Chain A
Amino acid sequence: MTDAGDDAPLSTKKDGHSSQDAASLGLEARGGDLLARSVTINRPKAELYRFWRDFSNLPKIMDNIVRIDVIDQQTSHWVVKGPGGKEVEWDATITQDLPDEAIAWASKDASDISNSGRIEFRDAGLRGTVVTATILYDAPAGLVGKAIAKLSQREPGIQARRDLRRFKQLMETGEIATNARTRKQHEEEMA
């Protein structure tokens, strides 16, 4: 932890943070940059946890993920859109699983793309659940790794925020808002 005297989250510090900070946040140390984004979702935390625990659901809300194959309870294989239309792949393991509370994952040591992440669900009373995603990566990167940011040229914080908005939309409304006027336009957007 930094010595800052206030109560604000680490990810909002002007001076950045050290890689040892990862441990205090429940993440494996992977990469030097930390990013966290929170969103409040008007659903019970158990429901949100269930959706997230099945990683094969994540491509629905994350723009740059082609697919995630769930190999076993701990292991998954991630296929992500990379630069120049190439796909980038890696294996990830679940490093923490607290039912209805939090899930953390990290790329396996041999991966080209080193990253780790954690999603936490906190009860927020009448407002539902506060969901916080925390990501460690080597800059520039997105919610799932540096190849993504290179392709999309998006600031990783913006990408993460968009992904969380889609998560919220799907959980709260049963669909992800789109301005597509036709199904063809919609498919092109999703591609």
Chain B
Amino acid sequence: MRALAWHGKHDVRVDTVDDPEIVNPRDAIIKVTSTAICGSDLHLYDGYIPTMKAGDILGHEFMGEVVETGPESTLKKGQRVVVPFTISCGSCYHCGKQQYSACDNGNPADNQDIAQELYGQPMSGLFGYSHMTGGYAGGQAEYVRVPFSDVGPIVVPDGVEDDKVLFLSDILPTGWQAAEYAEIEPGDTVAVWGCGPVGLFSVQSAFLMGAERVIAIDHFPHRLELAKKFGAETINFEETKTYEALMEMTGGIGPDAVIDAVGLEAHGFFVDNVIDQIKASLFLGTDRPHSIRQAIIACRKGGRVSMPAVYGGFVDKFPLGAFMEKGLTLKTGQTHVQRYLPGLLNAIMEGKIDTTFLISHRLPLSQGPDGYRMFHDKQNEVTKIVLKPDMDRVAT
């Protein structure tokens, strides 16, 4: 089969590799019909995530048709499923508490060592996201082996287009969890840093959870425009002083809850950020946490900080004093995708949530390397790229 493989920084190729097979009893093989490139994939593309190996198959947002099942899978051939990016067993203590991304068993035993050393305890496996999170082949491919297929994938009804449900695999539940973690109360103002897919779904979810106002922050006019469509007020941080604007827009109080949907590659020329970039390029520290600093400083006293954005290592100048003195709380983590799937699928079916607005480009899988380049270089216009292996199948 053909698959997009990582070969180094800014080097993604279409490789031909052996088709996946059923290896364990609970496996299923999925023939991929749609797969998206995620902001998290850009961290891999830019070489920020350690433990990638040349030839690793990328992709953790995908859906498709079940073509083969292991003896313990509950899926049936021909079913259409969306697959969560977290690989969770469904039977450990954490899965029992619906903390799926903390699953004890999704990550192979030998792959858990690095996270155990770095983080204290290892997290679940993830598709296509370095060897630290399992070394599993990802979904930017014609076929994928899906472990624990009896607990992860959600079956979607026939007749619903892929584009409507694909984002259940990651970014929709991620935006939803981010808003849930913001513990929104009636009358609240929520500020969201980053209007990428995660930020935009956070904006949408925050309104659905009863936020009175949402203020969205980015520097790409088109992305800010999308936030505005959901009813958000916007701040372009290239034109405006973010902290000053937030204070004025909230009557000197600060937002009740802040959401960091930017992550370790924050853009912009802020003094602290430039120092971080120099350090990152010298490998002294890998994370550039400008947005989380700003969010903590802006947040009102006693407010909530929600951080869906991904960080991997250590950061400097974390405003621990502000965080403590103001009595803030922080909730974060990889999304417990499986927890939100039934509810969000329902909301999509009932027309309460639309996700298709986000897709700016649909490309054949074979043009994946171009897709990575575009998503990386032209973030204003390119909001989300969906790769369709069938567009190649038709062409050949």
30 intermolecular pairs with C-beta atoms under 8 Å apart: A40-B93, A42-B92, A127-B93, A161-B113, A162-B112, A163-B109, A165-B109, A168-B92, A169-B89, A169-B105, A173-B26, A173-B89, A173-B148, A174-B72, A175-B72, A176-B24, A177-B87, A177-B106, A177-B107, A177-B134, A177-B147, A178-B23, A178-B24, A178-B108, A179-B135, A179-B136, A181-B17, A181-B23, A181-B137, A181-B145
Q: Is A183 interfacial (CB-CB < 8 Å)?
A: yes
Bound together, the chains give a CA A175 to CA B145 distance in angstroms of 15
Kindly state the separation between the CA atoms of A40 and B105 in the bound complex, as whole angstroms: 12
- Whether A183 lies near B109 (C-beta < 8 A) is no
User: In the bound complex, how far is the Cα of B91 from the Cα of A168, in angstroms?
Assistant: 11
Contact A162 B91 (CB under 8 A): no
CB distance from B296 to the nearest CB of A (A): 34
Closest to B125 in A: A177
* CB < 8 Å neighbour of A179 from B21, B89, B92, B111: B111
SS of B interface (majority):
loop
Given A161-B116, A162-B110, A179-B136, A174-B105 contact (CB < 8 Å) = no
Does A108 make an interface contact (CB < 8 A)?
no
User: Complex Cα distance A128/B134, Å?
Assistant: 25
Complex contact A181–B18 (CB within 8 A)? yes
B23 lies within 8 A of A186 (CB): yes
Q: Does B231 contact A (CB under 8 A)?
A: no
- B204 to chain A minimum Cβ distance, whole angstroms, is 34
Q: A158-B113, A161-B116, A173-B26 are in contact. Are A179 and B93 (CB under 8 A)?
A: no
Question: What number of A-B contacts does a CB cutoff of 8 Å give?
Answer: 88
Would you call A112 an interface residue if the criterion is a C-beta within 8 Å of the partner chain's C-beta atoms?
no
Measured CA separation A20–B181 after assembly (Å): 52
**Hey, which chain A residues are within 8 Å of B111, CB to CB?**
179
Q: Which residues of B contact A165 (CB under 8 A)?
A: 104, 109, 112
Residues of B within 8 A of A (CB): 17-26, 57, 72, 87, 89-93, 96, 104-113, 116, 125, 134-137, 145, 147-148
Contact A174 B104 (CB under 8 A): no
Q: Does A77 contact B (CB under 8 A)?
A: no
B92 touches A172 (CB 8 A): yes
Q: State the Cβ distance, A59 to closest chain B Cβ, in Å.
A: 14
For residue B22, which residue of chain A has the nearest CB?
A183
Supposing A178-B23, A180-B23, A182-B23 touch, asked if A172 and B105 sit within 8 A by C-beta, the answer is yes
With A and B bound together, what is the CA distance between A178 and B148 in angstroms? Answer: 11
Q: Are A177 and B108 in contact (CB under 8 A)?
A: yes
> In the complex the two chains form, is A42's CB within 8 Å of B91's CB?
yes
Q: Which residues of A contact B19 (CB under 8 A)?
A: 182
- The size class of the interface chain A forms with chain B is 20 to 34
Bound CA–CA A33/B176 (angstroms): 50
Most buried by B among A161, A169, A181: A181
CB pair A174–B113 under 8 Å, yes or no, is no
Find the A residue at minimum CB distance from B25: A175
A169 to B122 Cα, complex, angstroms: 14
B20 touches A177 (CB 8 A): no
Given that A177-B147, A178-B23, A186-B23 are contacting pairs, would A172 and B113 also be in contact in the complex, using a CB cutoff of 8 Å? no
Are the CB atoms of B109 and A177 closer together than 8 Å? yes
Chain A positions near chain B (C-beta within 8 angstroms)? 40, 42, 127-128, 158, 161-163, 165-166, 168-169, 172-184, 186
In the complex, A178 Cα to B20 Cα: how many Å?
13
Nearest 3 Cβ contacts at the A-B interface: A165-B109, A179-B135, A175-B24
Contacts of B57 in A (CB 8 A): 181
Task: Closest A residue to B131 by CB, please name it.
Answer: A179
B residues in contact with A184, CB < 8 Å: 18
* CA of A173 to CA of B105, assembled, Å: 8
Contact flag A162-B92 (CB < 8 Å), given A175-B25, A180-B23, A181-B145: no
Question: CA A128 – CA B23 in complex, angstroms?
Answer: 28
Contacts of A166 in B (CB 8 A): 109
Please give the distance in Å from B51's CB to the nearest CB on chain A: 12
**A178 contact set on B, CB distance < 8 A:** 23-24, 108, 147
A127-B93, A173-B105 known; 14 new pairs, CB 8 Å cut-off, are: A158-B113, A165-B104, A168-B92, A168-B104, A176-B108, A177-B87, A177-B108, A177-B134, A177-B147, A178-B24, A178-B108, A181-B17, A182-B23, A184-B18
Contacts of B136 in A (CB 8 A): 179
* Cβ–Cβ < 8 Å partners of A163 in chain B: 109
Known: A128-B93, A173-B89, A173-B91. A182 touches B21 (CB 8 A): yes
Which chain A residues border B112 with CB–CB below 8 Å? Answer: 162, 165
Chain B residue with the shortest CB-CB distance to A172: B91
How far, in angstroms, from A186 to B21 measured CA to CA in the complex? 10
Complex Cα gap A176–B105 (Å) = 8
**Using Cβ atoms and an 8 Å threshold, which residues of chain B touch A161?**
113, 116
Residue of B nearest to A39 (CB): B104
A179 to B110, CA, bound (A): 10
Contact check, A172 vs B89: say whether CB atoms are below 8 A apart: yes
Cβ of A67 to closest chain B Cβ, rounded Å:
20
Contact of B113 among A42, A162, A176, A183 (CB under 8 A): A162
Q: Tell me, in angstroms, the Cα distance from A4 to B134 when the chains sit together.
A: 39
Which of A175, A176, A179 has its CB near the most chain B CB atoms (within 10 A)?
A179
> How far apart sit A67 and B20, CA to CA, in the bound complex (Å)?
29
